[in-house]
Amino acid sequence: METRHQEYIDYYHVRMKKYENNSLYPHSYQSEKELYDAIANSKDLEEFGRKVEEGNLAVENAIALVKDQETARKNLYQELKEKIRLHAPLRILDVVDTVTTDTELVNSVSEIEGEVNVEITLDLFTDQIYHDLMILEEIEVYQKAEVPDEWKNEINQEHPQDLIDQGRKDWMDHVLPNAQQWDPHWQYDFDLIWEDRHRRLIPIPDQVLKKRIEQFKSYRGI
């Protein structure tokens, strides 16, 4: 056996062992084992090359890795109830066994991830209420502050109204246009606040959050 042939055998053996007994990579292990068996049972590298080409082993190897990675992502997002991020691994797993070339695999995965990234971006606009919690509390403090009569108009009314006016202007000038670059019909969906992926980021009781939502509507003019 040529030295180079033996070196390839050693190389594919190491690749196979990397995934052995790893529950996250069952498809990758099987694919790497097929490559190792192919090289180990070939009389020379030319025969190995024919086996790889005839069995499409290189592409099948890439598909196996994608399947393992996306299955792991799917399981994680299901556990975390990340409903939007879950779309990518579900869609990739749905098509991955239909591809026949590495180019088709790369293009399919990239296209799906690009489309789902838009969904994720739009979903993240829901977190605007989380980012506004401090200003909502500040507005409430000013509105309810006990101050001498000569300061009531300025402290309880004018200053909080200035903050609200700025919040509404920022919404119309920046937040809404940014979201509608991704989806021209986008509007804030208050129901999404209560879904786990957003609700877990807001460390306040439900009753307080309900009050903040109403304040958020006023602050942003929604």
**Reported pTM:** 0.89
Q: What is the pLDDT of residues 22-36, one digit of tens each?
A: 999 999 999 999 999
pLDDT at 1 over 80: no
Could you read off the pLDDT of 178-203 as tens digits, one per residue? 999 999 999 999 999 999 999 999 99
Query: Are the beta carbons of 49 and 90 closer than 8 angstroms?
Result: no
Which structural domain range is residue 174 located in?
125-220
In a shared domain, residues 17 and 81: yes
Whether residue 35 is contained in a domain is answered as yes
Asked if residue 166 lies in contact with residue 221, where contact means CB atoms within 8 angstroms, the answer is: no
Q: Please report which residue ranges of the chain form alpha helices under DSSP H.
A: 3-19, 26-40, 45-55, 57-80, 87-95, 102-124, 128-144, 149-152, 159-170, 176-182, 196-199, 206-220
CA dihedral 21→26→27→33, nearest 10 degrees, is: 20
- Which of 190, 197, 222, 184 minimizes the C-alpha distance to 120? 197
Residue 109 lies in a domain: no
Q: What is the DSSP letter of 174?
A: I
Same domain, 19 and 94: yes
Quote the number of domains for the chain.
Answer: 2
Instruction: Express each pLDDT in 74-99 by its tens digit.
Output: 999 999 999 999 999 999 999 999 99
